[in-house]
Amino acid sequence: TILKGLNSSVYFTKSIRKNLSNFAPAIGVVLGSLVARAARLKYGAALPVLAFPSKLATTSGRPWLVPLLDLPVWARWASAAPALLAAVLLFLDQNITARLVNNPRYEMKKGRDTDNLLDGTHGDMFVLSLLTALTSVVGLPWMAGATTRSAAHVRSLSILDSKGEITGTLENRVSGAAIHAMIGACALFSFPRMLLSQVPLPVLSGVFLYLGMTSLQGLELWERAKGLFQDTDVAPRKRWSDVPRAVTSVFTLVQMSCVGAMMAVTQSSAGVLSPLIVALLPLLRFGLIKSKVVKRNYMEKLDD
């Protein structure tokens, strides 16, 4: 947290502040791993670490190509239902991540050609569909939006002014390609796996918690949740400040309840049904408007 805040401080030069801020999570992982190693060598206090297989292979030893034709005919047809749920989940995950990454606050320009079906979000979804089909055939994990990491990535590419305000984003393909190339190297080569096997799980948990908290920046739900405890007379104005506070509070509490329900279902044995809950959210929105709990003009400001 201290290193991340250097970007808006007056210490060191601008280049040093930016690099320390951008690589704060990585620096935290390295320092945490070194401290854990020193504690293990001096006191014998061993922490659980990441576990990696010795070679790249399927878990059960099956062939790389999934024998789809070995399934009985009824199972092939029955798989259509869970496949539909998985498609909805992947679609929502990708679009939610894209919405966060392409937030107007980052002032990005590329990928905005709405007349080109292969530009921006349309191109992303097309490539994702091809990758999902390929990984399904060979039984590999599906490609996901990686919301937390993606949000941290675009924040690290943000261009800040002297006041710490975002004025633009260094849009490129190099950083994304390099990230995934290194992920692939960890799967293919033993040396990267050996290095990662030295990272304690508590260190990673702390980094993930930090990234999760920082990814809340810019989320309207988070801003309205904080607004439940703020004095409206002195709090900065938001886009929804003209909506009565009681209406804003009710809408925010409903949204927080939906998030809680989603988390509960996802962590339960019925986690595969979580896309159905997401699909019901538009009906809940319609019900709030129809019952006049939230008037339509207020809803347009709260849920733009």
Over 70: is that where the pLDDT of 114 sits? no
For the ranges 205-209, 265-269, 286-290, the one whose mean pLDDT is highest: 286-290
Q: Please report which confidence band the pLDDT of residue 141 belongs to, taking 50, 70 and 90 as the band edges.
A: confident
Helix ranges (DSSP H) in 197-244: 201-214, 220-227
Separation of alpha carbons 161 and 145, rounded Å: 29
Per-residue pLDDT of 150-189, as tens digits, reads: 877 888 788 877 776 788 888 888 888 898 898 888 888 8
Over 60: is that where the pLDDT of 266 sits? yes
Q: What is the mean pLDDT of residues 74-101?
A: 83
Over 80: is that where the pLDDT of 238 sits? yes
Give residues with Cβ within 8 angstroms of 124, minimum separation 6. 94, 98
Over 60: is that where the pLDDT of 280 sits? yes
Q: What is the mean pLDDT of residues 211-235?
A: 81
Q: Which of 23-27, 128-132, 287-291 has the lowest mean pLDDT?
A: 23-27
Separation of alpha carbons 178 and 102, rounded Å: 20
Q: What is the mean pLDDT of residues 194-212?
A: 85
Q: Which region, left, alpha or beta, applies to residue 219 given φ > 0 means left and ψ of -120 to 50 means alpha?
A: beta
Query: Which tokens in the block code for residue 165?
Result: 């305000």
Q: What is the mean pLDDT of residues 63-71?
A: 83
Strand locations in 164-290, DSSP E? 166-169
pTM of the model: 0.66
